[in-house]
Chain A
Amino acid sequence: MQAEFIVFLAVALVAIGAAIGMALSRHALYAAMFLVLNFACVAVMYLLLNAPFLAVAQVTVYTGAIMVLFVFVIMLLGAEKLPAQETRPEMRWQRPLAIGLGAFLLLQVGLALALPGMRAAPEPIDASPLAIGMKLFTTYLFPFEVASVLLLAAMVGAVTLTRKD
């Protein structure tokens, strides 16, 4: 318990630091690497929550595939450095929106911590690959198939966009 808490604290601090670093970095490649670090921390948190399958899936999908593509594109386009300019006028509306949504999120977290019912630990569940597979192919079969159709649509779209004729 004690050791788990120490690991959690360390990982959480690094995760928050990486997230802030990602948002503030003006260098696209550094931002991408901060995000990779953040994903790795989240994977460790899944492990702490007894969900090894989710942890490994997180690393495979986000750290190993999506972020590699991000880094690939950044390197290919040579778009590493953001110009050090002020926010463009047409983007101005984003700032108040971000503040509003951030405040809303903080409110939610505060409520979750304040309300006694929300703080009770949920029942521990079996998060082994076997259990997740069973759930996916029985209880959640329909959403699972819908997600695969969605991905297929994305794939067809990518092929259509890159066709030469």
Chain B
Amino acid sequence: MSILLETILKAVMFVVLALAGFAYTTWIERRLISRMQSRIGPNRVGPQGLLQPVAEGLKLIFKESITPAQADKFVYMLAPMLAVIPALALFAVIPISNHSFFNLAGGVDTAVLYVLAILGTAVYGIALAGWSSNNKYATLGGLRAAAQVISYELAMSLALVAVVLMAGSASMNVIIEKQLPGNILGWFIFRQPIAAALFAITALAELARSPFDLVEAEQELTAGYMTEYGGMKFALFFMSEYVKMIALSGLFTVFFLGGWSGPFVGDSWPLGLVYFSIKVLLCLMVMVWVRATLPRFRYDKLMAFGWKRLLPIALANVVITAALIAFGVPGYK
């Protein structure tokens, strides 16, 4: 029974961390993007605007909950939940420190596959939200999301195959251990740069973040699948997007940046937590930077890019990695 209790405790901790992270990721994004666009950004509520997420959460809770007249009421209500659950479930396999309390199931030997499975189911929330709203813009947004996620998941899986080949296991613990020895060059971002780039690009596409945010392209689709949502239901979609951002940053950290590893991490476990947070924060900032920099793709270009560029590159990368490992090239053992 104690293992049940321990798991529940850990799960609650991960959810709380993810939600706190969600609130402050919105703050980071808005402040940072303001800087990049020569604005100031929210700085009125609390010092440096730090209480802005709290204020907005309260505002959204007290908003009237509206359901469109012709909407499919049950699915309309269900969709935001279906969007949030997979986003939170991703944290189950992300070890955020070398202390076992901060590692829920990172040691299971199907962890990488679990990530791909959960990411595949994450699209239901968006697709069903678009459909159930009974709004043609929302439906189009939902359809775009479904097509985009299916297309880019292939390239992402193949990028991760290279990582699993390097580690010789699909367990997060082993993947981190294999990046530990010696110096920073052990990180997979240096030994698998193509896989890292592919994962970063496909992660942005899975998140439907700029430059892949055609799902919610304002000029064409108003707000896409979210058009008819308001109040807390809208907040849940927002939450799912940001929680997924944090989760994918965490996964990038685990796969390519050595996870919680860093100097002296063996001596005290809180250091692992600090290193992990710094790396995740860097990834989040790069995502904001990309959003401030790149314009949006055109839809046909997006599909062509996914299928005709990323997929062949990912396949070639797997073949080359496998050959390097088979021939025992140094660094690829």
Complex interface: stretch among B12-20, B61-69, B142-150, B285-293: B142-150
Complex interface: stretch among B113-121, B237-245, B250-258, B296-304: B113-121
Q: Are A69 and B150 in contact (CB under 8 A)?
A: yes
Q: Are A75 and B127 in contact (CB under 8 A)?
A: yes
If A60-B116, A69-B150 touch, whether A129 touches B109 (CB-CB below 8 Å) is yes
Nearest-Cβ distance from residue A28 to partner chain B, whole angstroms? 11
Contact of A76 among B113, B121, B143 (CB under 8 A): B143
If A68-B149, A129-B170 touch, whether A53 touches B127 (CB-CB below 8 Å) is no
* A106–B116 alpha-carbon span in the complex (Å): 36
* A53–B117 alpha-carbon span in the complex (Å): 11
Contact of B150 among A68, A76, A128, A130 (CB under 8 A): A68
By DSSP majority rule, is chain B's interface helix, strand, loop, or mixed? helix
A interface residues, tally (CB under 8 Å): 23
* A3–B142 alpha-carbon span in the complex (Å): 39
Q: Are B139 and A53 in contact (CB under 8 A)?
A: no
Which residue on A lies nearest to B168, using beta carbons?
A130
* A64–B127 alpha-carbon span in the complex (Å): 13
Q: Are A130 and B131 in contact (CB under 8 A)?
A: no
Indicate if A14 sits at the interface (CB-CB under 8 A).
Answer: no
**What is the number of contacts between chain A and chain B, taking CB atoms within 8 Å?**
71
Q: Are A75 and B110 in contact (CB under 8 A)?
A: no
Q: Are B128 and A71 in contact (CB under 8 A)?
A: yes
Which of A36, A56, A69, A71 has most B Cβ within 10 Å?
Answer: A56
Inter-chain contacts of B127 with A (CB < 8 A): 68, 71-72, 75
Q: Are B142 and A56 in contact (CB under 8 A)?
A: no
Q: Are A68 and B117 in contact (CB under 8 A)?
A: no
Nearest-Cβ distance from residue B163 to partner chain A, whole angstroms? 14
Inter-chain contacts of B205 with A (CB < 8 A): none
B-facing residues in A33-61 (Cβ within 8 Å)? 33, 36, 52-53, 55-57, 59-60
Inter-chain contacts of A59 with B (CB < 8 A): 117-118, 120-121
Q: Are A29 and B75 in contact (CB under 8 A)?
A: yes
Q: Which residues of B contact A (CB under 8 A)?
A: 4, 75, 108-110, 113-114, 116-121, 123-124, 127-128, 130-131, 139, 142-143, 146-147, 149-150, 153, 169-170
Instruction: Supply 25 A–B pairs (Cβ within 8 Å), ascending by A.
Output: A29-B75, A29-B128, A33-B128, A36-B124, A52-B108, A53-B113, A56-B110, A56-B113, A56-B114, A57-B113, A59-B120, A59-B121, A60-B113, A60-B116, A64-B121, A65-B120, A65-B153, A68-B124, A68-B146, A68-B150, A71-B131, A72-B127, A75-B139, A129-B170, A130-B109
